[in-house]
A and B are shown apart, each in its own frame.
Chain A
Amino acid sequence: MLTEIIFSGFGGQGILFAGKTLAYSGMDMGKEISWLPSYGPEMRGGTANCSVCISDDKIGSPLVTSPDILAVMNTPSFDRFESKVKSGGIIFADSAMTERETVREDVEFHKIPASELADKNGLTGMGNIVLLGNMLKECGNRLGDFTLSAVKEAFKKIVPPSKPELLEKNIKALELGYAY
């Protein structure tokens, strides 16, 4: 099974980090994974996105053009990628950052005020992880066999050991999204 995911939003929202977290968890679970960032001038204050592929088999193109799962954290990203989602796919939107709802009738739509939830819980800037937590819950098997604990384990590897408070906060943000 191949699952293709796009994370998208503004530079600075932790879009690339959210993708990396998922990729790391996949790797630890013995999956084939790839992570590809958008790179270039658009990253400086503009939009950022990354492609993540999780597969049981070798991955061909790491560039995702039609995702199974789309996570957006701003309106421009919503506009840009909404039509690209595969029929039967899932869209996750941070409703604190975009008021849009999907016009597609053939996809599943989830909205969660991720950035706002993060702010209210002293986790400012961690809307990305709240969104990821919600994605883990709602996707279930469609994401592979991801578990909350696998992602928590991944954080331990990505978050620098010199910043233990960040590890704690990321895990809290993840749980917040998962419980929503």
Chain B
Amino acid sequence: MSKVLMKGNEALAEAAMRAGCKCFFGYPITPQTEISAYLAKHMAKRGGVFLQAESEIAAINMTLGAAASGVRAMTSSSSPGISLKSEGISYIAASDLPCVIVNVERGGPGLGGIQPAQSDYNQAVKAPGHGDFHMLVFAPSSVQETVDMTYLAFDMADKYRMPAMILSDGLMGQMMEPVEFPDREVNPVEKPWACSGHKNKREHNIINSLYLKPDILEDSVRSRYKRYEQVENELPDAESYLCEDADIVVTGFGAAARIAETAVNNAREKGIRAGLFRPKTLYPFPKKELNEAVGNAKAILDVEMNMGQMIDDIKLYTECRLPVYFYGRTGGNIPSAEEILHEIEVCSMKGEKAECR
């Protein structure tokens, strides 16, 4: 198929349908509205259900219901709306249900603003809801990757029976880039656990997240964590760019990373050995890949569109062996390649001497 020019949000919506998503439940919020708008237009024609719910909370619980019946289901929102969904996300995780949740991030906290930000890293990766659980988190940094990761998110959610998030942002969602939709067949996995009607031919399937006996609850959580071990072994993914001989490795995800790549190229032109490490999965975090990327580095510069959230993981997983500096813009402002280049220059002068802050 030839390339078409599409917004990140529209491309995500198209990819979801091609990945076999049969139910979408949403509630409008900028900057994710094009996802709903696109699906409203196309979903019914292609044999799916589009439903605009009365609230974000309703939408996530409808997603839970659809997932429980065994179909591929998705909901999308932007930062404040995701906060509202967090209870439902926890229920979905506790019920071992696969689904895809899209967060097209905007500036926060509170109602914040409507311009792009990455301030929901911690929410997505550390605490998408109450209780002991994880959610798969994919962080695309181009429109094409948004498409590829949408397919992957549905597949991996089904494989591991857990919710998966596409952590996009206003920049990724609103920008248009050429994109190609790979031809692929949807091969839905068997879901013998689904509540899909059985005409009394088998035992009832029960999907539940309430366990009043501590031992039973502990067992259910522990068995889920066994699965997370498998996820952490199999799924981490990252891109390392010019890291082999890099003195300074810039770390960043999503939109921030693509801007940082320009800065890294500019730094190389100035004779600074800079590289870029970009996690594509934020949970599971590519720990091994990070350590390989910074193997020869003297310092790390973490760049994010927030006040510094992934930086904690960078320090943790490198065990603070190297000084880790930070540059971020927040509130809807986007760092420029020039600003990042300046930080690279400053950090490369500081080098090894500085303390890990």
B 1-14 to A, binary, CB cutoff 8 A, 1 in contact else 0: 00101000000000
**CB atoms of B175 and A39 under 8 A apart:** no
Which residues in A have their C-beta under 8 angstroms from that of B177? 33-35, 59, 62
Q: Name 28 interchain pairs, CB-CB below 8 A, sorted by A.
A: A20-B5, A20-B176, A23-B176, A33-B5, A33-B178, A34-B176, A34-B177, A35-B5, A35-B176, A35-B177, A36-B171, A36-B175, A36-B176, A37-B174, A39-B30, A39-B31, A40-B30, A40-B115, A59-B258, A60-B258, A60-B259, A60-B337, A61-B258, A61-B334, A61-B336, A62-B171, A62-B175, A63-B171
| A contact set with B: CB distance below 8 Å | 20, 23-24, 27, 32-37, 39-40, 58-63, 65
Which residues in A have their C-beta under 8 angstroms from that of B331? none
What is the CB-to-nearest-CB distance from B352 to chain A, in angstroms, rounded to a whole number? 28
| Additional pairs, 13, CB under 8 Å, beyond known A40-B115, A60-B261, A63-B334 | A23-B176, A27-B5, A36-B175, A36-B176, A39-B114, A60-B258, A60-B337, A61-B262, A61-B334, A61-B336, A61-B337, A62-B177, A65-B336
B 172-189 to A, binary, CB cutoff 8 A, 1 in contact else 0: 001111100000000000
**CB atoms of B262 and A40 under 8 A apart:** no
Roughly how many angstroms separate A63 CA and B175 CA in the complex, as a whole number?
9
Given A60-B258, A60-B259 in contact, is the A24-B5 Cβ separation under 8 Å?
yes
Given A35-B176, A40-B30, A40-B114 in contact, is the A27-B3 Cβ separation under 8 Å?
yes
What is the CB-to-nearest-CB distance from A109 to chain B, in angstroms, rounded to a whole number? 26
Roughly how many angstroms separate A60 CA and B338 CA in the complex, as a whole number?
11
B 146-178 to A, binary, CB cutoff 8 A, 1 in contact else 0: 000000000000000000000000110011111
**CB atoms of B175 and A34 under 8 A apart:** yes
Given A39-B31, A39-B114, A40-B114 in contact, is the A60-B262 Cβ separation under 8 Å?
yes
Residue of B nearest to A37 (CB): B174
Roughly how many angstroms separate A33 CA and B175 CA in the complex, as a whole number?
10
Most chain A beta carbons < 10 A, residue from B3, B5, B31, B171: B5
What is the CB-to-nearest-CB distance from B274 to chain A, in angstroms, rounded to a whole number? 14
Query: When A and B form their complex, which 9 residue pairs have the shortest distance between CB atoms, in order from nearest?
Result: A60-B262, A35-B176, A61-B259, A36-B175, A62-B175, A27-B178, A60-B259, A40-B114, A63-B334
8 A Cβ contacts from B294-327 to A: none
What is the CB-to-nearest-CB distance from B112 to chain A, in angstroms, rounded to a whole number? 12
Which residues in B have their C-beta under 8 angstroms from that of A23? 5, 176
Q: Give the interface size class of chain B.
A: 20 to 34
Most chain A beta carbons < 10 A, residue from B175, B261, B262: B175
Which residues in A have their C-beta under 8 angstroms from that of B170? 39
What is the CB-to-nearest-CB distance from B189 to chain A, in angstroms, rounded to a whole number? 35
**CB atoms of B175 and A35 under 8 A apart:** yes
Which residues in B have their C-beta under 8 angstroms from that of A39? 30-31, 114, 170, 174
Which residues in B have their C-beta under 8 angstroms from that of A59? 177, 258
Which residues in A have their C-beta under 8 angstroms from that of B115? 40
What is the CB-to-nearest-CB distance from B271 to chain A, in angstroms, rounded to a whole number? 20
Roughly how many angstroms separate A60 CA and B256 CA in the complex, as a whole number?
9
What is the CB-to-nearest-CB distance from A60 to chain B, in angstroms, rounded to a whole number? 3
Residue of B nearest to A40 (CB): B114
Roughly how many angstroms separate A126 CA and B221 CA in the complex, as a whole number?
62
Roughly how many angstroms separate A65 CA and B340 CA in the complex, as a whole number?
14
Roughly how many angstroms separate A37 CA and B175 CA in the complex, as a whole number?
7
What is the CB-to-nearest-CB distance from B131 to chain A, in angstroms, rounded to a whole number? 36
Roughly how many angstroms separate A62 CA and B142 CA in the complex, as a whole number?
10
Which residues in B have their C-beta under 8 angstroms from that of A65? 336
Roughly how many angstroms separate A37 CA and B263 CA in the complex, as a whole number?
23
B 119-153 to A, binary, CB cutoff 8 A, 1 in contact else 0: 00000000000000000000000000000000000
Which residues in A have their C-beta under 8 angstroms from that of B3? 27
Residue of B nearest to A19 (CB): B176
Roughly how many angstroms separate A46 CA and B178 CA in the complex, as a whole number?
29
Given A27-B5, A39-B114, A63-B334 in contact, is the A58-B261 Cβ separation under 8 Å?
yes
Which residues in A have their C-beta under 8 angstroms from that of B176? 20, 23, 34-36
Which residues in B have their C-beta under 8 angstroms from that of A32? 178
Which residues in B have their C-beta under 8 angstroms from that of A36? 171, 174-176
Roughly how many angstroms separate A136 CA and B304 CA in the complex, as a whole number?
37
Which residues in A have their C-beta under 8 angstroms from that of B262? 60-61
What is the CB-to-nearest-CB distance from A119 to chain B, in angstroms, rounded to a whole number? 30
